[in-house]
């Protein structure tokens, strides 16, 4: 694996093309311009696009992002973009943080210094981490895969190779959304190298062994299955489409930045702890910078396809299989349907399960201080393993 420093530099021609497309937007008809019942609000999108055209400054955001420690790793011809912040403390623990969809590496921007240098942010230097934040294949500045089969399982192998190349023989993993699945695959496939995993989401692709001789479902587990089914029926169309026909959707999202933004914004509003006021939780500059990271990559279709790869290779465990790597879970109140602790304990040894006071699906973006404190607390007793 070769590793080189990386600097973000979006070509002027790409920015000009984006400007032309924003100027040529064709707005849909809406029965309720202010409402969100049918999907993303027309009024909000008009507001967002006006800000995008008139006030948003990509070059300013680019310069800010370039203050982060960017690198590009190439293994067997496949490139991975990542941040790498060495820790400040007596014995920092190596930690790989993985984002999901519709997020990116920039979700971890405020979390990164809290973990790498806790002593400078009111914490204990003994809780420091060497922090690695890769961009999933086809996300951020990681190029799109050129062949099928790049799901969370194979990404776990890629992350293991990256961490090994950085000199981290044993390391920890943390993630939410798709990143949680990658962390669980890491623990499953490489138990001798994982010190522990911490999750702020339990992905729907995770299926513990059920049926005899396993214990029967508890009332809480049955309730979770009902809640998950209700969510899939009411709000899961995006996942069904991305997991079955990502290419079809990819044409629209690759051709229209406004279409891409509408597809993503609806999820940021629905899944964050914003009480319907997205800007109160996630500023427009942050939202648009994240959207631009998708637009400036090889095209959003690759990010969608990861759902299909994970459907084809789900995180399903057969009867009797158990993972011995310690697991911790932080449950944020506005998260998507989460299972009870017993559901995860059917496979993983859960040593910490905490209910957080605020936050939603984008925990690192919404509540970085809370998440950092919880990550430190979970891994603290595992540092001497």
List, in sequence order, every residue forming a beta bridge with 81; answer none if it has no partner.
72
- Does the active-site annotation cover 177? yes
Q: CB neighbours (10 Å) of residue 125?
A: 15
CA–CA separation, 306 and 39 (whole Å): 23
Nearest to 375 by CA among 100, 124, 108, 174: 174
377, burial (CB in 10 Å: exposed 0-12, middle 13-18, buried 19+): middle
Asked if residues 110 and 89 have their Cβ atoms less than 8 Å apart, the reply is no
Asked if residues 86 and 165 have their Cβ atoms less than 8 Å apart, the reply is no
Nearest to 20 by CA among 258, 198, 339: 258
CA–CA separation, 302 and 150 (whole Å): 10
Q: SS3 of 70, please?
A: strand
Q: Which residue has the tokens 């969809």?
A: 101
Upstream peptide bond of 245 is cis (omega within 30 degrees of 0)? no
Catalytic residue among 139, 201, 238, 307: 307
CA atoms within 13 A on the CB side of 271: 23
Sign, CA dihedral 9-13-17-22, equals: positive
Catalytic residue among 117, 177, 238, 294: 177
CA–CA separation, 146 and 200 (whole Å): 30
CA–CA separation, 269 and 281 (whole Å): 9
Cα 370 from chain centroid (whole Å)? 17
- Does the active-site annotation cover 38? no
Nearest to 79 by CA among 69, 71, 68: 71
Q: What angle do CA 355, 360, 362 make, to 5 degrees?
A: 120
345, burial (CB in 10 Å: exposed 0-12, middle 13-18, buried 19+): middle
Active site residues: 177, 307, 361
């Amino acid at each position: 694996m070769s590793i080189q420093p990386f600097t973000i530099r979006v070509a002027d021609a790409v920015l000009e093309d984006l400007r032309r497309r924003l100027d040529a937007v064709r707005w849909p008809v809406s029965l309720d311009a202010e409402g969100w019942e049918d999907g993303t609000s027309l009024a909000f999108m008009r507001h967002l696009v006006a800000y995008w055209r008139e006030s948003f400054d990509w070059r300013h955001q680019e310069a800010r992002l370039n203050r982060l420690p960017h690198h590009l790793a190439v293994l067997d011809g496949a490139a991975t973009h990542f941040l790498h912040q060495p820790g400040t403390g007596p014995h920092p623990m190596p930690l790989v943080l993985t984002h999901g969809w519709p997020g990116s590496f920039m979700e971890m921007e405020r979390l990164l210094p809290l973990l790498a240098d806790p002593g400078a942010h009111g914490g204990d230097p003994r809780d420091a981490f060497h922090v690695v934040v890769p961009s999933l294949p086809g996300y951020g500045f990681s190029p799109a895969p050129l062949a099928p089969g790049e799901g969370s399982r194979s990404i776990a192998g890629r992350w293991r190779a990256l961490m090994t190349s950085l000199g981290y023989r044993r390391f920890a993993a943390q993630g939410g959304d798709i990143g949680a699945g990658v962390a669980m695959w890491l623990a499953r496939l490489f138990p001798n190298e994982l010190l522990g995993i911490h999750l702020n989401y339990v992905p729907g692709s995770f299926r513990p062994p059920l049926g005899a001789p396993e214990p029967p479902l508890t009332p809480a587990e049955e309730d979770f299955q009902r809640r998950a089914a209700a969510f899939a029926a009411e709000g899961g169309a995006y996942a069904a489409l991305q997991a079955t026909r990502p290419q079809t959707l990819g044409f629209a999202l690759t051709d229209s930045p406004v279409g891409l933004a509408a597809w993503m914004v609806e999820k940021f509003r629905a899944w964050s702890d914003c009480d319907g006021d997205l800007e109160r939780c996630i500023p427009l500059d942050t939202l648009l910078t994240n959207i631009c990271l998708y637009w400036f990559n090889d095209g959003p279709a690759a990010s969608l396809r990861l759902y299909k790869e994970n459907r084809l290779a789900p995180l399903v465990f057969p009867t009797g299989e158990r993972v011995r790597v310690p697991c911790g879970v932080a449950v944020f109140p506005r998260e998507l349907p989460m299972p009870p602790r017993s559901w995860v304990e059917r496979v993983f040894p859960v040593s910490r399960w905490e209910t957080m006071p605020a936050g939603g699906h984008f925990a690192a973006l919404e509540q970085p201080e809370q998440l950092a404190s919880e990550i430190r607390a979970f891994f603290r007793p595992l540092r001497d393993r």
